[in-house]
Structure 1
Amino acid sequence: MEDVSYTKGIYTAVAMTRTMDSGLYQGVVSLERDDGEELENSVYEVEGTSGTPEEALEEAKALAHRILGELEL
């Protein structure tokens, strides 16, 4: 499954999925700054798990939108 990238100002959020040991899937978002400055927390996990990678990616995309929406430029 392909990762999905969103950009707001100097920030890029990449939504992706990972397979858990239980066989379920979890959405993950990686947040980066384009100016090279380090972030305190650059990886965010969706709280729950999903039965399919598609569901997990949708949850990760929603999380990426929330994260970027909360950023002040």
Structure 2
Amino acid sequence: MEDTTYTKGIYTATIGVRAIDGGQFQGLVSLARDDGEDADSTLYEVEAASGNEEEALNEARALAHRILGEIEL
């Protein structure tokens, strides 16, 4: 599966999913700042577990939009 990314200014959010205990899945968002220097990234995790990958990916997508929406340029 190809990575899905969203950008706002110098910020890029990449979403993903990982398997966790009990056959559940967790959505992830990696937020990177590319300001010409070292590109630091922060990993955010969706708090709630999901029963399937698609649901976890949708949760990660929503989290990425919230994170980017809160950034002021």
TM-score when normalising by structure 2: 0.88
How do 1:2-41 and structure 2 match up within 5 A? 2-35=2-35, 36-38=38-40
Higher alpha-carbon deviation: 28-37 or 51-60: 28-37
1:37 CA displacement: 4.7
**Root mean square deviation of aligned Cα:** 1.3
TM-score when normalising by structure 1: 0.88
| Equivalent pairs, count | 71
2:44 corresponding residue in structure 1: 44
Q: Distance in 1 between matches of 2:59 and 2:16?
A: 9
Percent of aligned positions that are identical: 63
1:22 CA displacement: 1.7
What runs of 5+ residues in structure 1 fail to find an aligned partner? none
Corresponding letter in the other structure for 1:65: H
Q: Distance in 1 between matches of 2:71 and 2:18?
A: 25
What runs of 5+ residues in structure 2 fail to find an aligned partner? none
Structure (1 or 2) with the greater helix fraction: 2
Runs ≥4 in structure 1, deviation > 2 angstroms?
Answer: 36-39
> Do 1:29 and 1:45's aligned partners in 2 also have CA atoms closer than 8 Å?
yes
